[in-house]
Structure 1
């Protein structure tokens, strides 16, 4: 019997941590899993350890051998001068992505989880799979970037292509452009990359413009929906629905791989988009619907960015799993009143949170003030929507 959804998680993926002050904090995973447990939506028995071991062959589906060797060698290099030169050469001596001890092993576990999720769906073991530690979409074949060492999303997609020959639609909802995945498949007509993000005019990585359409035989299989700073829920969802639905209807994929960075929320400290939890309620619901319409339900969901790790990430990531398993809470999110978060979860974590924890799954009407330039932002985004879909 095929399961409806599986939750893949390796406890040691929490070792992927740059330093104590770095915004990419793996406690996000613990907070999310604990919230799902307290909500009665996940048990310890349902946390499946990846069945795939990440080796060089898997990493080199996307990454250059010299890069993989460098990441491994840094852990054992005693000479600080050699270590510094190597780290700088491969993007591992930046403020964003500094080398840390055990980096190769920790990053490899994340790759293993995403590939295991992809294999479980493509082999028919399950319809949907969620790997919240994944989604490190900025890494390049020869260089680390943007908190990302190995590009697990791109490796999982390439694994699907090589082992199963399936057409893949990659959907990236992180506020930062999914550049690493885009460039890996920029000339591949069998992988369509779609990214909705804050415009690169103002935000890292400075790419993801609507004119980036793909190259050679892959031209027309790359789509970017850059949004204006301070875009709010209604315009974000309008842009997502209008462009993504046209893309998927044209491309007709065999499987969806989605990246769920949740840093477009107004509380997030690393971006300028002004959305609420409403978009994180809708994103998985839309993708779930599209998966059953176009791919026979085949859907792999990964985590990603998200730097308000207490108030936003646990709620947003939990909503993905709740949608995947058709949990009753998912339908309650559309009722007149937001259901409340479990008091046991709030009590456990409130003293560690630097800000008061929310009491409900959705934000209140007065939690996020409106943006004065709403009309201009909406109009600008609509113009971009037309550019993105003009050839579809």
Structure 2
């Protein structure tokens, strides 16, 4: 079997250029041009055959209402018109859709219901056995609440997709959130649900939006113990981040024993990201999906749906991080080559094509030259604090 045929059997890549319509304004930090940069990088690397691609399709309001309040969906639809009714515009604040972070925009419902549709399609593809793995980088909008938009997120595609997996396939779902911002919307969607376990590793909410995700948040009622949070300190580096992630996740999955993994891959814990303070390198975006991949085969017969998420250095970080995820999901030869050679160069034609648009020099290699970075002050204290948090997170895990 050739490398391309192996990729086609291994994973589905859900993508359409029209997903860039999810766009608040030209000045807003949430910029889905990063999808185009990632797809172009993978194509130039010979890692994304057309046969792996499938466009997302929108879902109807009924599906959205499995997670979101009917009134909220009606508000999103009304505020998506070119000239919304003044009565709806006056009520936009009620639904969190008049803020600097999450302002309503023309075509909002169509764009974001398509994002939800892509994530639901990914679940269907995996749960029906059409493919063991599916990736939808346009998804991962994890902050939206039942009746309110928040944190750049209008509809919560991750929550809708998880609810779909539960209702349509009877699946127990482990949700893994690696965004630097706590996965609050998904957590609250399933906080009392014993059949969904949410695991989030993020920068502590003491200093960062959304201010939730304390290690003491563990779920309620029959869902107690199925919420696990690992809030790490600002300026956490690779080794400590990976220790916390790996040690806790291995215990979580062994105790919960899911039928499906849904993972969210915000890549804003990187040192270059402008909206957070964690100081990791591209190494966590190589090693973290490798562990999820292994655990998916050990516990879920390979069933793994991966979503995008945050990531605001769209030039130097997001394309590399998301490409590394796809290389892992498809067992691409480049993945193994990177283990042997951390200095492996990016395709030169990709760097040449996009450098004129980036204010910063684009990195020449897939991974970062961490040995040239200045170590963070207080590294020992940060590591010790993270280790203490990790132990508290594992108190109720066998």
Q: TM-score, normalised by structure 1?
A: 0.97
Structure 2 unaligned runs (5+)?
Answer: 1-5
CA contact (8 A) 1:138 1:181 kept: yes
1:37 aligns with 2:43: yes
Aligned counterpart, 2:354: 349
1:166 aligns with 2:171: yes
For residues 271-304 of structure 1, give each alpha carbon's deviation from its aligned partner in whole angstroms, at most 9, with x where no partner exists. Answer: 0000000000011101000000100000000000
Q: Equivalent residue of 2:239, what SS?
A: helix
Q: Equivalent residue of 2:305, what SS?
A: strand
Aligned counterpart, 2:18: 12
* Inter-partner Cα distance in structure 2 for 1:271 and 1:13: 25
Which of 80, 84, 91 is matched with 1:86 structurally?
Answer: 91
Aligned counterpart, 1:362: 367
For residues 143-176 of structure 1, give each alpha carbon's deviation from its aligned partner in whole angstroms, at most 9, with x where no partner exists. Answer: 0000000000000000000000010000000000
Q: How does 1:89-104 map to 2 (within 5 A)?
A: 89-104=94-109
Change (3 A) 1:159 1:370: same
Aligned counterpart, 2:247: 242
Change (3 A) 1:10 1:250: same
* Inter-partner Cα distance in structure 2 for 1:245 and 1:336: 27
What's the offset of the Cα at 1:337? 3.5
1:232 aligns with 2:240: no
What's the offset of the Cα at 1:74? 1.2
CA contact (8 A) 2:82 2:106 kept: no
1:138 aligns with 2:143: yes
Aligned counterpart, 1:338: 343
* Inter-partner Cα distance in structure 2 for 1:190 and 1:208: 20
Q: TM-score, normalised by structure 2?
A: 0.96
Structure 1 unaligned runs (5+)?
Answer: none
1:55 aligns with 2:60: yes
CA contact (8 A) 1:13 1:133 kept: yes
1:200 aligns with 2:202: no
What's the offset of the Cα at 1:77? 7.5
CA contact (8 A) 1:134 1:153 kept: yes
1:271 aligns with 2:296: no
Query: Number of matched residues?
Result: 391
Aligned counterpart, 1:329: 334
CA contact (8 A) 1:186 1:222 kept: yes
What's the offset of the Cα at 1:79? 6.2
